[in-house]
Structure 1
Amino acid sequence: MIGFYLHHHGSGHRIRGTLIARRLGVPVVGFGTGEAPQGWPGMWVPLAADDADVRPERADVAAGGALHWAPLHHPGLLERHAAMAAALQRLRPRLVLVDVSVEAAVLCRLLGIPVAVMLLPGERDDAPHRLAHGIAELLLAARPVEADAPRGPRPWDSKTIHVGAISRFAGRAPAADRAVDRRRVLVLGGTGGGGPAPREIEAAAEATPDWEWLQRGGTGGFVGPERLWSELSGADAVIVSAGENAVADVAAARRPAVVIPVPRPFDEQLATARALARLDLAETPDSWPEPAQWPGLLAAALRRGGDGWDRWEGDGVDGAAAALLSVYRRHGGEA
């Protein structure tokens, strides 16, 4: 058995974890706040919330800088870790993939269970990240190795595998061409917050009368994956945040893109946007542009096209599953 800890902020961690779990071909157990994600292929252990009624200035949530989130005397945190420990004792998984939590990784390793950790973009050189990366037997990066900015060697480089983008739409055929008079741009939002306000999208649409604007996610409402793929792969251009899953879906669709980072801890999305700029894969303004900038941005995205996205992809979910199974077998797991 392989375990998965999947963070609940946004939907990306849960979608990515489910894709990998379904590809493994071995029993899995998942841990996370609330109910199991859609399509989860095995057992699921729902965890109590650990962020309600927390006053950070009194709770020493970072344990003096050694951790990221461990508020003192919090009943949800205690219940959460107790539930994980009890399930791990009962089920004895050979490996747990953590996407992503320093505290969950440390808990598993303290219980004698090997851990793999998703290596997210951004500045991850603080003490808690160094701890989690140091104890992990495997680090998986869902991006190409070229996406990481040049830097000096790190102790975990030898156990890091860059598998490229992981998308639920990988390998799908694009939608049929639309018979329309105007080009269409799709604004693709997520559940993590921080996207454009409706008035900002309206102003951008008014500045680009030759374009039809369609919004999905965020304040634009959500649709099922089949319809989303049809609209994504059929769009002439896509506007999206720099979250790893969002970028992976655009890469799978090979669409011209404007990728706009939203504020996230450790400059996660900013790092991804800068990588896309270095690789010349998308237009990457630092924030939502002024209306007058949109005609030029969309024109530039069209000129670039979407063929370059194959540089962002790789073995994806297959590579992630293969790397996990290698560690799993090393610890006595049977596939």
Structure 2
Amino acid sequence: MLYNFSFYIHHHGSGHVTRATAIAKFLKTYVDCKITFLGSDLLAYQHLIPDDIDQLFLPLDVPTVDDLYHQPQNLKHLHYAPLNVAGLLARNQMIIEHFCKNPETVCVVDVSCEVLQLARLCGIPTVAVRQHGKRTDLAHALAYDSAQQIIAPYCRQMSDADEEGIYADKTLFTGGFSRYDTLKTPSSVQQKKNIAIFIGKGGSSIDQHLISRLQASLDASYTVHVIGDAPSASGSENIIIHGHLDDPTPILNLCAVIVCNAGHNTIMEMGSLRKRIICIPADRPFREQEIKAAHLQRLNLAVVIPEDQVKHTNWKNAIEQAQQLDTNRWSDVMDDKALTKIADCLIATYRKFYTTQRKKTGIHA
């Protein structure tokens, strides 16, 4: 049979589309299926998305100068639902039209409580992708309650009961995974005095001031590699500015310690590469990065520096501390079978609704 999956992909940062692409690529090799990506920023990631995945380009849902009657609304049961925004109306229309053309689909939502509830109100089975953070508010509770399944793309050890709330029983903890799962850092390549500053695309607290402080705290024998878009960053004798790299692994593999934020995609990539990290959790809704960083610290996977302590950090000591981390601990939280678990979950969810014969009514569910 041909399975049909619709992935809604949140437009903030690259982590959501990277994760969806990894899952979709695996599904395509695992089962005969049609997959459609729905999102507002897909064009920026065409180099990542395979040609055999359909795409629905949604307008942004933020007000423009033409939205004369726009009014923000603070609601408990929805995170974002402004009034009189043409882009919001148009994108919801396009999503509903997609469901009308694909009535036998499972919608995987990564992430949006509003889209998840919209799909459910259309009678479409949904699977929610969960992120770290304290998500026990009403909007999340309603979304998770309506979802058929919740997928947490991390291991159970990186969670606790207070975070997951009453929906832990229908949550699949997959273990960690990333696009670098097949790669491991060759120990012979690592050089103790190569340090990387890895800046993701989701917004970062890592700036020129931090880079300068790190440089000043290290002697000239160290080389600092800056990967990603660093505002106003400039190179010097022992700072190399690489900018954005489609494949940063050759540089990451050179470096003994990586300084990064606690975005999920970044952390999972560091886990796949078995890297020693200094983690600076950025301010995010629901304390997402702060809570993830706390789990990493508890599991002795990272040295964590709060944002408000960056200016007061002795970076030489922090790097020496990070160099003592045991990279074998990543094996406890990463899982080579994570994508298989997700695929099996999505297939089982699809079959539950679209292959069961209801004898009394003659209707296929």
Q: State whether TM-score is above 0.5.
A: yes
The aligned runs of 1:246-325 (5 Å cut-off) are: 246-287=266-307, 289-290=310-311, 293-314=314-335, 315-325=337-347
Deviation (angstroms), 1:153: 7.6
- For 2:162, what is the secondary structure of its paired residue? coil
The aligned runs of 1:112-191 (5 Å cut-off) are: 112-151=123-162, 154-175=165-186, 177-178=188-189, 183-191=193-201
Q: Distance in 1 between matches of 2:223 and 2:24?
A: 38
Deviations 1:25-67 (A, max 9, x none): 3110110004353224411100011113399xx72334x2210
Deviations 1:282-310 (A, max 9, x none): 10111262365111111111111322111
Q: Look up the match of 2:236.
A: none
The one-letter amino acid of 2:153's match is A
- For 2:303, what is the secondary structure of its paired residue? coil
Segment drifting more, 292-301 vs 77-86: 292-301
Q: Does 1:215 align with 2:226?
A: yes
The one-letter amino acid of 2:304's match is T
- For 1:125, what is the secondary structure of its paired residue? coil
Q: TM-score, normalised by structure 1?
A: 0.92
| Structure 2 residue ranges without an equivalent (≥5) | 231-240, 357-365
Q: Look up the match of 1:14.
A: 17
Decide whether aligned partners of structure 1 residues 117 and 74 sit closer, same or farther in structure 2, where only a CA change above 3 A counts: same
| Structure 1 residue ranges without an equivalent (≥5) | none
Decide whether aligned partners of structure 1 residues 173 and 251 sit closer, same or farther in structure 2, where only a CA change above 3 A counts: closer
Q: Distance in 2 between matches of 1:236 and 1:153?
A: 34
Decide whether aligned partners of structure 1 residues 179 and 307 sit closer, same or farther in structure 2, where only a CA change above 3 A counts: closer
Q: Does 1:204 align with 2:224?
A: no
Segment drifting more, 289-298 vs 149-158: 149-158
Segment drifting more, 262-271 vs 186-195: 186-195
| Same amino acid, percent of matched pairs | 25
The one-letter amino acid of 2:199's match is G
Deviation (angstroms), 1:88: 1.1
Q: Distance in 2 between matches of 1:160 and 1:186?
A: 35
Segment drifting more, 130-139 vs 208-217: 208-217
Q: TM-score, normalised by structure 2?
A: 0.84
CA contact (8 A) 1:3 1:93 kept: no
Q: Distance in 1 between matches of 2:58 and 2:164?
A: 36
CA RMSD of aligned residues (A): 2.2
The one-letter amino acid of 1:322's match is D
Deviations 1:47-95 (A, max 9, x none): 011113399xx72334x22101111010000000000100111122421
The aligned runs of 1:63-102 (5 Å cut-off) are: 64-102=75-113
Q: Look up the match of 1:43.
A: 54
Which protein is bigger by CA-based radius of gyration? 2
Q: Distance in 2 between matches of 1:281 and 1:176?
A: 17
Deviation (angstroms), 1:152: 8.7
Q: Does 1:230 align with 2:250?
A: yes
Higher-RCO chain (CA-CA 8 Å, sequence separation at least 6): 1
Number of residue pairs matched by the alignment: 329
From 27, 33, 47, the counterpart of 1:24:
27
- For 1:237, what is the secondary structure of its paired residue? strand
Q: Look up the match of 1:244.
A: 264
